[in-house]
Amino acid sequence: MQTVTDPARLRLLVQQWRQQGLRVALVPTMGNLHQGHLELVHQARSRADKVVTSIFVNPLQFGANEDLAGYPRTLDEDKAKLYDARCDLLFTPEVGLLYPNGLAQQSFIEVPGITELHCGASRPGHFRGVATVVAKLLNLVQPDLALFGNKDYQQLAVIRAMVRDLNMAVQIVDVDTVRDADGLAKSSRNGYLTETERAVAPQLKQQLDAAAEALRLQGPSQRQRIEQQVQDALDQHGFRTDYVAVCQAETLQPAQADDKQLVILAAAYLGKARLIDNLRLDL
Ligand code: PAF
């Protein structure tokens, strides 16, 4: 596995592969790799000849009061994991190489509508930062496909909207959420949980399962009541709920009585950690 920090060098290496007719996959990450990331690399490996993984803690997607400085950085361990997963190229640029004119002078990508809901409402500017860095990575690598986890369901919807709206020639592949045995979705932010909080954390998935059951029995017309029940249950377990939303699976707008393709999205704080999860449901 080669490690590259310079965007120009990255371009050159991938260009050579493309000239040989090889199919290239990109797995964008912020590092601190866990099973969820490695599943993306694994899926990439099975669909492409060459796999590029990026590790870049993107300052543009963190709000002023968020955990940018404290975000876990574990490059040596990450490299070993990527090597074992048979990644071909690791791109891990310094902030100054990806944003040479500084963040204030950076052009950015604004995806309207969908970025204003849910996590976008709680974290203003977050999805602008995500869309911008993903667009830069896609432009640098020009992969045939790029892979993202379903755990970040809204992020995936934003990236799909950007790719569609800007006619980007890349296939976006979504990969199922990887969970611990007790149901907790793998996330770098699980590392912020204390032992007591970790024992409570699977409640997030359990409450989504309960909401899905209630939706099957009562239908989406009862959406608000079901959202409130989930929120009350989470709060009773010691979470500080940010939002629970029963939505149309594609638009992420509130589900209507006759909607059949649904997703339940939730974000809640447990101590220092802001956990998110979701559940897709076809009625
Ligand atoms: O999901 C993430 O880790 C990040 O939001 C991404 C897509 C790598 C962009 O920085």
Using a pLDDT cut of 70, give the percent of the chain over it.
Answer: 100
Residue 179 CA to ligand 1 center (angstroms) comes to 18
107: confidence class by pLDDT, cuts 50, 70, 90: very high
Domain covering 188-278 in this structure, CATH number: 3.30.1300.10
Mean pLDDT of all residues in 254-280: 98
Q: Where are the domains of the chain?
A: 2-175, 188-278
Question: pLDDT per residue over 42-79, tens digit each?
Answer: 999 999 999 999 999 999 999 998 989 999 999 999 99
Residue 88: Cβ-neighbour burial (10 angstroms; 0-12, 13-18, 19+): buried
Q: What is the 3-state secondary structure (H, E, C) of the chain?
A: CEEECCHHHHHHHHHHHHHCCCCEEEEEECCCCCHHHHHHHHHHHHHCCEEEEEECCCHHHCCCCCCCCCCCCCHHHHHHHHHHCCCCEEECCCHHHHCCCCCCCCCCCCCCCHHHCCHHHHCCCHHHHHHHHHHHHHHHHCCCEEEEECCCHHHHHHHHHHHHHCCCCCEEEEECCCECCCCCECCHHHHHCCHHHHHHCCHHHHHHHHHHHHHHHHCHHHHHHHHHHHHHHHHHCCCEEEEEEEEECCCCCECCCCCCEEEEEEEEEECCEEEEEEEEEEC
Look up the CATH number of domain 2-175. Answer: 3.40.50.620
- Give the per-residue pLDDT at 44: 98
- Tens digit of pLDDT for each residue in 154-163? 999 999 999 9
pLDDT of residue 67: 87
Closest by Cα among 67, 69, 37 to 55: 37
Residues whose beta carbon lies within 6 Å of some atom of ligand 1: 28-30, 58, 61, 130, 133-134, 152, 155
Name which of 72, 125, 128 is nearest 273 in CA terms: 72
Q: How far is the CA of 242 from the centre of ligand 1 (A)?
A: 20
Substitution site in 26, 27, 30 for ligand 1 pocket (most atoms within 8 Å of beta carbon): 30
**Rounded average pLDDT over 215-225:** 98
Name beta bridge partners: 268. Answer: 241, 275
The C-alpha atoms of residue 264 and residue 54 are separated, in whole angstroms, by 29
Look at ligand 1, atom 8, and give the residue with the nearest C-alpha: 29
Question: Tens digit of pLDDT for each residue in 165-190?
Answer: 999 999 999 999 999 999 999 999 99
pTM of the model as a whole: 0.98
Which residue in the list 34, 37, 118, 237 is annotated as catalytic?
37
What average pLDDT does the chain have?
98
d(CA 52, CA 44): 9
Q: pLDDT digits over 109-150, tens only? A: 999 999 999 999 999 999 999 999 999 999 999 999 999 999
